[in-house]
């Protein structure tokens, strides 16, 4: 029964996060943790797997709508793919409470920044090709390492990075979904190599994610405004960060 309830919750989260260009692991993992699954060996690897499935499902919709900047995202894809297993390897070396604290701090930072910029109109910035590749390469490796360490795909950091470089909101969200595919599955592979998995949980929630993400991506493409995406993104991040920090204090 627990797996059924968790799968229904994951379905709803996949619907929301696919609209934001995110895999959803930042909420999948706390949900698993709250239902009693081990944070390191079950919640984190399952969150990474679902993260990858969510963004694969969403990316199919975004590719068809020609919203993904494949060529421009290559530095992020390569660097985050390399960084994610490094972070996964470091997981066993860091205490669980420290991991949760890092997770919450990262979400507070990203959520606050997104909320402060939600009302600003989208505008393309003229950033030189060399500087853009440098920022995306260095940022991608660091984000990929954080993603593998904390069991997330990194989309909540990829999107702000791309917005800062000059991507419009919808294009940043769609391209982020594509990039997160690689960091998610790379990080997941790192955890599998460490023996971290729960197959019944993974299989049941994977189905829920595949369906929810497809529906959410369609809604974003057809209905969502950039301002709404940023506001939803920020509020979800801040809410979950607050819950995690409260749990540490309790």
pLDDT digits (tens, 9 = 90+) for 64-119: 888 898 888 888 888 888 888 888 788 778 787 887 787 788 778 777 877 776 67
Output b/e per residue, 68-89; b: 16+ Cβ within 10 A. bbeebbebbbbbbbbbbbbbbb
**pTM higher than the cut 0.85:** no
Task: Say if residues 163 and 117 touch (Cβ distance below 8 Å).
Answer: yes
pLDDT digits (tens, 9 = 90+) for 229-244: 677 777 877 877 887 7
- Burial of residue 23 (number of CB atoms within 10 Å: 0-12, 13-18, 19+): buried
């Amino acid at each position: 029964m627990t797996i059924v309830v968790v799968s229904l919750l994951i379905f709803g989260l996949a619907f929301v996060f696919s609209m934001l260009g995110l895999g959803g692991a930042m909420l999948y993992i706390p949900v698993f943790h709250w239902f009693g699954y081990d944070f390191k060996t079950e919640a984190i690897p399952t969150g990474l797997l679902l993260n990858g499935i969510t963004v694969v499902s969403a990316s199919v919709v975004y590719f068809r709508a020609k919203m993904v900047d494949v060529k421009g995202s290559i530095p992020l894809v390569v660097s985050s793919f390399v960084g994610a297993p490094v972070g996964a390897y470091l997981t066993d070396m860091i205490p669980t409470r420290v991991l949760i604290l890092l997770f919450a701090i990262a979400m507070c930072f990203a959520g606050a920044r997104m909320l402060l910029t939600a009302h600003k109109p989208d505008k393309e910035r003229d950033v030189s090709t060399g500087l853009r590749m440098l920022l995306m390469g260095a940022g991608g490796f660091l984000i990929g390492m954080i993603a593998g360490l904390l069991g997330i795909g990194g989309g909540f950091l990829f999107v702000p990075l791309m917005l800062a470089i000059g991507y419009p909101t919808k294009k940043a969200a769609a391209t982020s979904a594509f990039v997160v595919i690689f960091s998610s599955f790379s990080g997941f592979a790192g955890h599998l190599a460490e023996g971290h998995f729960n197959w019944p949980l993974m299989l049941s929630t994977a189905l829920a994610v595949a369906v929810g993400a497809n529906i959410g991506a369609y809604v974003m493409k057809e209905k969502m405004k950039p301002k709404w995406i940023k506001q939803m993104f920020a509020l979800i991040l801040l809410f979950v960060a607050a819950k995690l920090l409260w749990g540490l204090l309790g």
